[in-house]
Structure 1
Amino acid sequence: MADTQREIERKYVTDRGPLPDLTGVAGVAAVRDEGVEHLDATYYDTADQRLAAARLTLRRRTGGRDAGWHLKLPVAPGVREEIHAPLSDEPPPALTALVRSRARELPLAPVVRLRTERDLRHLVDAEGALLAEASVDTVHAERLTGDGGTARWTEIEVELAPGGDPAFLDTVEERLREAGVRPADSPSKLARALADTGAEVPRAPAAGPPGTAGDHVLAYVREQVDALVDLDPGVRRDAEDAVHRMRVATRRLRSVFRSYGKVLDRRATEPLRAELKWLAGELGVDRDREVLTERLTGAFDGLPARLRTGPVRGRLHAWSDARHAGARERLLDALDSDRYLALLASLDALAADPPLRPAAARKPEKVLAKAVRKDTRKVADRVGHALGLSPGPELDVALHEARKKAKRARYAAEAAVPALGERAARVAGNTKRLTKLLGEHQDAVMAREALLDIADAAQAAGESSFTWGLLYGREERGASAVEAQLPRRWAKIGPGTAL
């Protein structure tokens, strides 16, 4: 079983021996000597150090107060999610799964051993509550790959107590700087060990400013591919909003491949679009349940108590839990599949060696603007067609199709913003607002279908279906209200609004 905590820390270079006196730091009532710990950590990575390149660390550590396996995932500078698992001989599957989008098919093996003598202090407030841990770490590093190599250094590490205010670290840093201590250049002990022992960690080449249409499109593609890989651990851990954000990245890639077929050869991108659609579908099973549950729960909670007949809350929870369990298992199976890894590898290959067409070498202003105009016209046509239909299933389908076209136009415009500026931003904003409105309509359609399913189950169990019917009627009225707003919103992207 793995557990997670947020790690907020700062590292400093020192050659001055003991920890500077921190008793004068605002809020610190005492500095408690916690003794010396002897830590022995072995870091694991692929042969080409893919984890280190992404600033991920996976280690097996003994000694100290938290012996075991630790996986650290970057969140922001100086902030990482630290996931712990019990001590074992081999990397635990619960942690290796979280780096699979990075390691792919390569095995994880020991790359560096760090032995640290830690002189630990606790900074506490007037009530004895822990504010931060400060330590002087004397580190001996040994590289376990290639020609080997060793290094030694001393550093100061200050880690904020769980739930603490990060601003406290600023106060501590002021005192350390006054004592002649400077921030470390390396973000982690592993990064310094690799650098000081001569290891070559792969780095992404620095991208120059986009110039051609192809440069702009590829910059957007690479951003979304990075998002897929970065979000993978969060999706596996069921982190808040991770599934939704990963699904959006798949949509953006599919949209940009379709919208910019004059830039990237569709013979190469269409197979990727099909695989991205598959992945989006796997992500969508759980995401759709989540959205529906939130919507129905909110609607239920908004009803007066006298209108809630029967065990409606329990019925809703049972419906949601049953769908969630199956969806999570299916999604994790997809992320563990060879098909998913093959998709990531294909996306990497396309980004590294893109199938460019002649228009890719042209100036972006005309090429990108033409693609955005084409997509926007399609949206206007779809909405215009839907406005001529009567309420009912045919209209529901037409508006859903218009929504998909609006999303594509939005993402095409987003990709064009760096080149076209405010003109593309305006289109992106208008199509985003239209998408949101059409999304509300589609949510109402899906909610009505769910309510019918729940009502059928309630009736079969001998329960009243009154509340479910009431909520169904409200969803019908909500959809009608959206339909009434469409003509005004359509005018924002209809004829006469070309880019």
Structure 2
Amino acid sequence: MAETKREIERKYEATGDAVRLPDLTRAAEVASVVDRGVAELDAVYYDTEDLRLAAHSLTLRRRTGGDDAGWHLKFPVATGIRDEIRAPLSPDVPRTLAALLRSRVRDARLTPVVRLLSSRHVRHLLDGDGALLAEVSVDAVRAQRLGPGSAGPATAWTEVEVELADEADPALLDRVEKRLRKAGLRPSHNASKLARALAETAPAPPDLPEPPATGGTTAGDHILGYLRAQRDALVGLDPAVRRDLPDSVHQMRVATRRLRSAFKSYRKILDRTVTDPLGEELKWLAGELGVDRDQEVLTERLQTRIAALPRPLLLGPVRGRLRIWSVARRSGTRRKTIAVLDSRRYLALLDTLDALLDAPPLRPAARRPAAQVLPKAVIKDYERLADRMARALELDPGEPRDVAMHEARKAAKRARYAAEAAKPALGAPAKKFAKRMKKVQTVLGDHQDSVVAREALRGLAIQAHLAGESAFTWGLLYGREAATAADRERELPEVWRRASRPKLRERLGP
């Protein structure tokens, strides 16, 4: 069974050979320093042959010695903050940890790349009540590169590590750092011991010629940069989804949609005969991820509506009925999501996306300046949205208008994503355009959420009636959702008028 620990720490290195700690009781809150002795640690770090984990500041190690022997997998959260996921000692990489690395590793093998032997002298910083504030370690490290069948180059150094205790005030680290700096210690240039070991034991790189000057940024450069960022987000969010972190499914789904939208919007830059099949796979993935997310959003919406009702209007077991309905609809969805992420189809999608970005199918327009090509793509998506908006606004309220507004919502999202992709090249005009499109999308989105909610409320009312319960509250909520939809329909023409000002379109470019 794996467990997770949030690790907040800072590392320091000495300017000379010796490391002498100052009196840390002079740092505020620290009442005493307790010597916890020396521990001998032996850690072997694993990675792929091409160091994919290290490239993204991920570390996987098997360590013996000390009080936390076992497998440790660390994910960066922010500077100096990492989530450490631990698993018991075993001969091979635990399945729970291997799964969290699957989007990075895929079919490659995890093999030992570095061995670190550390002699760790530990001190505990305690407050006046004897509670632990932080742990200060002086580590004498010997690192050796590991290769196929033999050990490689070695290096050694000494560093100081200060790790904040659970629930302790992070400001303590600043006060301790002030004392350490006065003693001649400086923050480490390396984020981790592994990073330093890899850097100091790396083979000398070959002499390579300077790359030729590109003569400026092209439309292809911009869009490929955007696609790479979304690919990285997709791959990076995989372990967060597996860990069931808040909003991770939603953000992963957004990355798939942005990729697919960019393929459609920028067909003058990328060959659609290559991108269309990949777009269909991204659509499949977004759909699989959306099952759980859509139900979560709908449940939260209905719970909010119920909470807003006065108690006298809650007739029957309304909250219990909603809970049973939600659990029944979500049953097994998380297992299904993990199964999708473990599937060959998903891993093949990631491989295909990598291959496309490594050898992009660029069309002639990709070589032209971004300011000439990108505005036309954004405007084309805007015109597509304008056509759908005109149709939606001319229809009378009812199911055909609901469908037309949903189609307009999807077009608004695509126009927004196209502008966001162009923002680095076009600057403020694209940023403003994207903001206006988001407002349109928000109004249309709330309308569509109301359509979905009304269908769910109708089903809940039927279930309540068949169970002999009052359907009054469900009908009341249905009416309020209908009123919300009517409000959005009245609001939409003005929001669209503001978003479609001619001068905004002119500023985007030719």
TM-score (norm 2): 0.93
- The answer as to whether partners of 2:27 and 2:176 remain within 8 angstroms in 1 is yes
User: How far, CA to CA, are the matches of 1:463 and 1:116 in structure 2?
Assistant: 67
Shift of 1:302: 1.0
Q: What SS does the aligned partner of 2:332 have?
A: helix
Compared CA separation, residues 360 and 12, structure 1 to 2 (3 A): same
Q: What SS does the aligned partner of 1:149 have?
A: strand
1:194 maps to 2:192:
no
Q: What SS does the aligned partner of 1:110 have?
A: strand
User: How far, CA to CA, are the matches of 1:143 and 1:465 in structure 2?
Assistant: 69
- Match among 120, 123, 143 for residue 122 of structure 2: 120
Give the aligned partner of residue 23 of structure 1.
25
Alignment of 1:212-231 (within 5 A): 212-231=218-237
Compared CA separation, residues 280 and 464, structure 1 to 2 (3 A): same
Shift of 1:324: 2.5
Give the aligned partner of residue 485 of structure 2.
479
**Match of 2:164, as an amino acid?**
L
What does the per-residue CA deviation read over 1:163-192, in whole Å, with 9 as the maximum and x for residues that have no partner?
333232122111111100111111111111
Matched residue pairs, number?
496
User: How far, CA to CA, are the matches of 2:33 and 2:454 in structure 1?
Assistant: 61
- Match among 138, 145, 148 for residue 147 of structure 2: 145
Compared CA separation, residues 463 and 329, structure 1 to 2 (3 A): same
Shift of 1:110: 2.1
- Match among 448, 451, 472 for residue 454 of structure 2: 448
Shift of 1:200: 8.3
- Match among 385, 389, 398 for residue 404 of structure 2: 398
Alignment of 1:156-305 (within 5 A): 156-198=160-202, 211-305=217-311
Give the aligned partner of residue 63 of structure 1.
65
Q: What SS does the aligned partner of 1:23 have?
A: helix
Shift of 1:344: 0.9
1:341 maps to 2:343:
no
Shift of 1:12: 0.9
Shift of 1:460: 3.1
- The answer as to whether partners of 1:384 and 1:490 remain within 8 angstroms in 2 is no
Shift of 1:495: 6.6
When the two chains are superposed, the root-mean-square deviation of aligned CA atoms in Å is: 1.9
User: How far, CA to CA, are the matches of 2:87 and 2:422 in structure 1?
Assistant: 44
- The answer as to whether partners of 1:380 and 1:490 remain within 8 angstroms in 2 is no
User: How far, CA to CA, are the matches of 1:136 and 1:152 in structure 2?
Assistant: 14
Identity of aligned residues (%): 61
Compared CA separation, residues 117 and 363, structure 1 to 2 (3 A): same
User: How far, CA to CA, are the matches of 1:332 and 1:439 in structure 2?
Assistant: 28
User: How far, CA to CA, are the matches of 2:83 and 2:215 in structure 1?
Assistant: 32
Give the aligned partner of residue 414 of structure 1.
420
What does the per-residue CA deviation read over 1:268-294, in whole Å, with 9 as the maximum and x for residues that have no partner?
111111011011001111110111111
5+ residue gaps, structure 1: none
- Match among 333, 336, 339 for residue 327 of structure 1: 333
What does the per-residue CA deviation read over 1:67-122, in whole Å, with 9 as the maximum and x for residues that have no partner?
22111001112111111122222211111111111001112222222222111111
Q: What SS does the aligned partner of 2:499 have?
A: coil
Q: What SS does the aligned partner of 1:36 have?
A: strand
What does the per-residue CA deviation read over 1:308-366, in whole Å, with 9 as the maximum and x for residues that have no partner?
12222122122222233321111111100111111111111111211111111111112
Alignment of 1:367-382 (within 5 A): 367-382=373-388
Give the aligned partner of residue 43 of structure 1.
45
Give the aligned partner of residue 34 of structure 2.
32
User: How far, CA to CA, are the matches of 2:93 and 2:13 in structure 1?
Assistant: 31
- The answer as to whether partners of 2:44 and 2:113 remain within 8 angstroms in 1 is yes
User: How far, CA to CA, are the matches of 2:94 and 2:460 in structure 1?
Assistant: 40
Q: What SS does the aligned partner of 2:159 have?
A: strand
Moved more, 226-235 or 444-453: 444-453
**Match of 1:117, as an amino acid?**
S
Compared CA separation, residues 209 and 302, structure 1 to 2 (3 A): farther
User: How far, CA to CA, are the matches of 1:177 and 1:485 in structure 2?
Assistant: 59
Q: What SS does the aligned partner of 2:40 have?
A: strand
Q: What SS does the aligned partner of 1:4 have?
A: strand
Compared CA separation, residues 209 and 336, structure 1 to 2 (3 A): farther
Q: What SS does the aligned partner of 2:465 have?
A: helix
Shift of 1:373: 0.8
What does the per-residue CA deviation read over 1:9-36, in whole Å, with 9 as the maximum and x for residues that have no partner?
1111133234332111122111111222
- Match among 107, 110, 115 for residue 109 of structure 2: 107
1:434 maps to 2:447:
no
Compared CA separation, residues 200 and 493, structure 1 to 2 (3 A): farther
User: How far, CA to CA, are the matches of 2:285 and 2:153 in structure 1?
Assistant: 43
Moved more, 445-454 or 328-337: 445-454
Moved beyond 4 Å, runs of 4+: 205-210
User: How far, CA to CA, are the matches of 1:493 and 1:385 in structure 2?
Assistant: 17
User: How far, CA to CA, are the matches of 1:287 and 1:210 in structure 2?
Assistant: 42
